[in-house]
């Protein structure tokens, strides 16, 4: 681990922005004192294969040793329990919230997403967790956004993830979801691959996407929180200083914490209110068409859903083997 410096860029960033740890690794969370933490199937899978976290998988399996459930139902129940156990451990460390993700295979199933979200919140409640400290992560498909709209009305707060475009952000704001997670790094990856160009600072299309969403939300006083996610370098983070929240991997948290030098606020709600922005109304047909017109957004959302779904399948295989050895 690099040596921390006084008044590091991480210290300065925390003055403008809530810093969130993007990991399932408890030790990393402790090291950088973030406000919140986020998890996803890939992070849980990676953490579950580390020896120091194997006890959580073993505990979930042991708790189901006398369960009347069998087959896929038993596996699904164990995975839900694993998610809750990881979430509870994280909440012992962070003062704020943890994000727990629904099965990505439900990304186009509104009712299925609602039912699983209710189940996860019920499991947290059963263990005495204040559910205001839990965000349910849902993919930003039309079906996922409509599920979140229902859940928010029930008091279940949601984090809409795999978000790459303005139509997704506008629909999430209209649904009054608690928080969105626009993916900076994956947008950057797509443009870099398509154009062969390197992007940095304010020219980074991932940075520009979050700036545009932030300005739209603040201009129209949309209460949904904006949390930039999926960073490739600290330059992207620095350009978004002032965003409501930023969820950052341990590697980049360490780099910020060991770097001196001034860091200034780049995103400001008062400046956004003065911007010339026209409101956009989206029904389902308009959303689907405008989203389809965004090749990057549609491709990266689909890719993200596939990847998270594949990692859930790998986690299921571990559970079915009664092991946490890599598959």
CA distance 122 to 148: 16
Reported as a pLDDT band with limits 50, 70 and 90, residue 1 is: low
Could you read off the pLDDT of 53-99 as tens digits, one per residue? 889 989 999 999 899 998 999 999 999 999 999 999 999 999 999 99
Q: For the chain, what are the domain ranges?
A: 9-321
CA distance 2 to 172: 38
Strands 36-38, 18-22: parallel, antiparallel or unpaired by DSSP?
A: parallel
CA distance 303 to 301: 5
Domain 9-321: give its CATH architecture: Alpha-Beta Barrel (3.20)
Reported as a pLDDT band with limits 50, 70 and 90, residue 2 is: confident
| Cβ–Cβ < 8 Å for 187, 255 | no
Would the pLDDT of 326 be above 50? Answer: no
Structure tokens at 14: 């925390």
CA end-to-end distance (rounded Å), the chain: 29
Catalytic residue among 30, 92, 137, 300: 137
Would the pLDDT of 247 be above 50? Answer: yes
Could you read off the pLDDT of 205-231 as tens digits, one per residue? 999 999 999 999 999 999 999 999 999
Reported as a pLDDT band with limits 50, 70 and 90, residue 325 is: very low
State yes or no: is 137 an active-site residue. Answer: yes
- For 122, counting Cβ atoms within 10 Å of its Cβ (0-12 exposed, 13-18 middle, 19+ buried), the class is middle
SS3 204: coil
Query: Residue 154: how many CA atoms within 13 Å on its side-chain side?
Result: 16
Would the pLDDT of 127 be above 50? Answer: yes
pLDDT at 45: 87
Average pLDDT over residues 300-318: 94
């Amino acid at each position: 681990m690099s040596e921390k410096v006084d008044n590091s860029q991480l210290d300065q960033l925390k003055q403008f922005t809530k810093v969130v740890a993007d990991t399932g690794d408890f030790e990393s969370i402790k090291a950088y004192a973030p406000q919140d933490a986020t998890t996803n199937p890939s992070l849980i899978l990676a953490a579950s294969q580390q020896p120091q976290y194997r006890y959580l998988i073993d505990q979930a399996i042991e708790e189901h040793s006398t369960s009347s459930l069998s087959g896929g139902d038993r596996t699904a129940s164990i995975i839900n329990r694993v998610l809750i156990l990881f979430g509870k451990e994280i909440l012992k460390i962070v003062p704020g919230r943890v994000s727990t993700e629904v099965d990505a295979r439900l990304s186009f199933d509104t009712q299925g997403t609602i039912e699983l979200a209710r189940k996860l919140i019920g499991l947290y409640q059963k263990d005495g967790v204040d559910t205001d400290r839990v965000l349910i992560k849902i993919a930003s498909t039309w079906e996922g956004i409509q599920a979140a709209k229902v859940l928010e009305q029930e008091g279940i707060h949601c984090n809409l993830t795999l978000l790459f475009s303005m139509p997704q952000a506008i629909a999430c704001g209209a649904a009054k979801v608690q928080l969105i997670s626009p993916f900076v790094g994956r947008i950057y990856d797509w443009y870099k691959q398509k154009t062969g160009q390197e992007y940095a600072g304010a020219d980074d299309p991932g940075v520009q996407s979050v700036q545009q969403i932030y300005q739209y939300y603040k201009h129209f006083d949309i209460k949904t929180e904006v949390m930039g996610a999926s960073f490739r370098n600290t330059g992207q983070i620095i350009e978004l200083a002032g965003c409501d929240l930023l969820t950052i991997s341990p590697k980049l948290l360490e780099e910020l914490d060991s770097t001196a030098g001034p860091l200034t606020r780049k995103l400001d709600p008062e400046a956004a209110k003065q911007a010339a922005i026209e409101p956009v109304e989206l029904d389902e047909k308009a959303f689907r068409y405008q989203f389809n017109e965004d090749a990057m957004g549609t491709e990266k959302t689909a890719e993200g859903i596939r990847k998270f779904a594949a990692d859930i399948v790998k986690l299921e295989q571990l559970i079915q083997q009664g092991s946490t050895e890599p598959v």
